[in-house]
């Protein structure tokens, strides 16, 4: 875990080619995000909604207050994912998010700074730990949380287009680790090929996956806080957890299992959006 996995690869693939691949993936993410915004008209809707909320505002939010709201958004919705009411899903999401960030940054640093050096300081360790955190959080979500009716209630083997992001994340981290641990063997080259296929799928399918969601989430959360502050939107009450003692006491007839598609039950409770990653 302390050896740069890209150093041995440089004997077969030039650092320039590896760097070009990384640049291409960045271009695919930027291009896919822009196309997603154009196709879904996300940015247009976002700004139109902001203008509509301004008309309903009962007070003006000062610049200092907006900075405070931005810092609260950064602290809750961005850095700690405090919007998740399910603590398990929140922990899984944080493992995936920070694992992915560390994995991507360390990959870029090793390829652009230490492509031919096995000794790359702490970056190889961070690369492996990031991939491991991403894999653990992702498999926990897929096999332990996603199948829970409180989250999505979907069987682990059911995969749809919305699952491209999480599946490609899992396969990228898994095959990356397997490639690193089996370098120099036939299996190592097989895992490397699968690693590249998975990574290319991850960064090349932004238009059809949930990847672009991560860029809109902080902006939407900040806009919501501003709307609450200026009075244009009343804060809705927190949605209770269906299995909590308070909910069971208030609604004693609610079933403990509600199948793959639980009904609303007249409670006005909605499940979390699929693949909130």
Report whether 275 contacts 159 (CB < 8 A). no
Cβ of 25: how many Cβ atoms within 10 Å?
18
109-128 pLDDT, tens digit each: 999 999 999 889 999 999 99
User: Quick one: CA dihedral 133, 138, 144, 145, positive or negative?
Assistant: positive
Percentage with pLDDT > 70 across the chain: 76
Domain residue ranges in the chain? 5-250
Please list the pLDDT of the chain residue by residue as tens digits (277 residues): 788 999 999 999 999 999 999 999 999 998 888 887 776 666 666 677 777 777 777 888 888 988 998 888 888 888 888 777 778 888 999 999 999 999 999 999 999 999 999 889 999 999 999 999 999 999 999 998 887 755 566 777 787 777 888 899 999 999 999 999 999 899 999 999 999 999 999 999 887 777 666 767 777 788 888 888 878 766 445 555 555 555 556 666 555 444 344 444 333 344 444 444 4
CA nearest to 267, candidates 242, 244, 235, 245: 242
pLDDT of residue 201: 94
Report whether 226 contacts 52 (CB < 8 A). no
Cα–Cα distance measured from residue 271 to residue 146, given in angstroms and rounded to the nearest whole number: 11
CA angle 121, 127, 128 (to 5 degrees): 110
pLDDT of residue 78: 81
Cα–Cα distance measured from residue 32 to residue 15, given in angstroms and rounded to the nearest whole number: 26
CA nearest to 111, candidates 18, 17, 14: 18
Residue found under tokens 């006491």: 249
């Amino acid at each position: 875990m302390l050896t740069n996995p890209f150093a041995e690869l440089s004997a077969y693939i030039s650092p320039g080619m590896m760097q070009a691949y990384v640049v291409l993936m960045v271009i695919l993410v930027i291009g896919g995000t822009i196309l997603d915004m154009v196709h879904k008209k996300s940015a247009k809707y976002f700004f139109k909604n902001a203008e509509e909320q301004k008309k309903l505002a009962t007070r003006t939010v000062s610049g200092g207050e907006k900075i405070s709201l931005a810092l609260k958004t950064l602290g809750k919705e961005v850095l700690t994912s405090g919007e998740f009411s399910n603590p398990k899903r929140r922990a899984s999401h944080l493992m995936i998010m920070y694992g992915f960030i560390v994995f991507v940054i360390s990959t870029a640093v090793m390829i652009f700074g230490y492509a031919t050096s096995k000794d790359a300081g702490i970056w190889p360790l961070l690369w492996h730990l990031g991939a491991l955190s991403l894999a653990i959080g992702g498999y926990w979500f897929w096999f332990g949380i996603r199948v829970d009716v409180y989250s999505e209630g979907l069987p682990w083997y059911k995969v749809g287009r919305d699952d491209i992001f999480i599946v490609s994340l899992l396969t990228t981290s898994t095959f990356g680790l397997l490639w690193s641990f089996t370098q120099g063997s036939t299996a190592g080259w097989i895992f490397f090929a699968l690693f590249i296929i998975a990574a290319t799928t991850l960064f090349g399918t932004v238009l059809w996956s949930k990847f672009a969601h991560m860029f809109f989430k902080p902006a939407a959360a900040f806009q919501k806080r501003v709307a609450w502050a200026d009075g244009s939107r009343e804060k809705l009450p927190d949605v209770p957890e269906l299995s909590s003692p308070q909910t069971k006491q208030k609604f004693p007839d609610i079933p403990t299992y509600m199948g793959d598609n639980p009904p609303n039950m007249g409670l006005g409770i909605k499940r979390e959006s699929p693949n909130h990653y």
